[in-house]
Amino acid sequence: MHNKALVLAIRTADHLVERGEPEAAANILQRYLAAYPPSAQVLQRLGRLRLAQGKSAEAAALLQQALACREGPEVDAPGGSVDDEVNAAAR
C-alpha cells in the first residue's frame, strides 16, 4: 500500500504542478508525509516546489531531510543532485 500511495502522491503532485497549482501539489505531498514514513522523493519534490515559490529556508530544510533518507538514484534531479539543490536553497 505504501508504494502505491507514494506513486499516486508523486504523480498527482506532478500533474498539479503542470496545471499551475503548486500549492495544491505541496498539500498532496505534505499529506503523504503526514501519513507515511519520510520519502526522499517526496521531500525532494516538496523542497523543489518551495524553492520555486521563493521559500528558500523551508526548501533547504526539506532538501536536507531528503538527503538524510536518501532512497536511491531517483533522488538526483535532472541537471543536478539534491546536494546542489540544498546549496542553491541555502544561498
Higher-scoring residue by pLDDT: 59, 84: 59
Q: How far apart are alpha carbons 17 and 12 in whole angstroms?
A: 9
- Angstrom distance (rounded) from CA 54 to CA 33: 21
Find, among 70, 53, 63, the residue nearest to 88 by Cα.
63
In order of their start, the domains of the chain are: 2-90 (1.25.40.10)
Provide the pLDDT for residue 23: 96
C-alpha cell at 10: 508523486
Percent composition of the chain: helix, strand, coil (DSSP 3-state, to 5): 75, 0, 20
The pTM of this model reads 0.76
* Tens-place pLDDT, residues 8-38: 999 999 999 999 999 999 999 999 999 999 9
